[in-house]
Amino acid sequence: MADIERKEQEIPKYVKVREVMQLCEVSESRAYRIMQQLNKELEAQGFVTTSGRVSRKYLMERLYI
């Protein structure tokens, strides 16, 4: 059980712009626009979002990764 908790702690729940840039292979400004779009979608679903970060799980779902 402790091993599972450690693995969850190793992978952050949110990604920042640099990781979005790498995953999508886009510029910084495009990565921010992608993050903004995804956060708007999450807000429309009733989730609380933080600017400059996006849910790793939601990003991966939307990128089909």
Summarize the confidence of residues 30-53 as an average pLDDT. 96
Residue 40 tokens, joined: 């708007």
* Residues spanned by the domain of 31: 2-62
Alpha carbon separation from 23 to 6, 47, 52, 59 (Å, rounded): 24, 23, 16, 10
Domain tally for the chain? 1
Summarize the confidence of residues 48-65 as an average pLDDT. 94
Residues 42-65: b if buried by 16+ CB within 10 A, e if exposed: eeeeeeebeeebbbeebbeeeeee
In which band, very low, low, confident or very high, does the pLDDT at 10 lie, cut at 50, 70 and 90?
A: confident
What crossing angle do the helices spanning 17-24 and 28-44 adopt, rounded to 10°?
A: 100
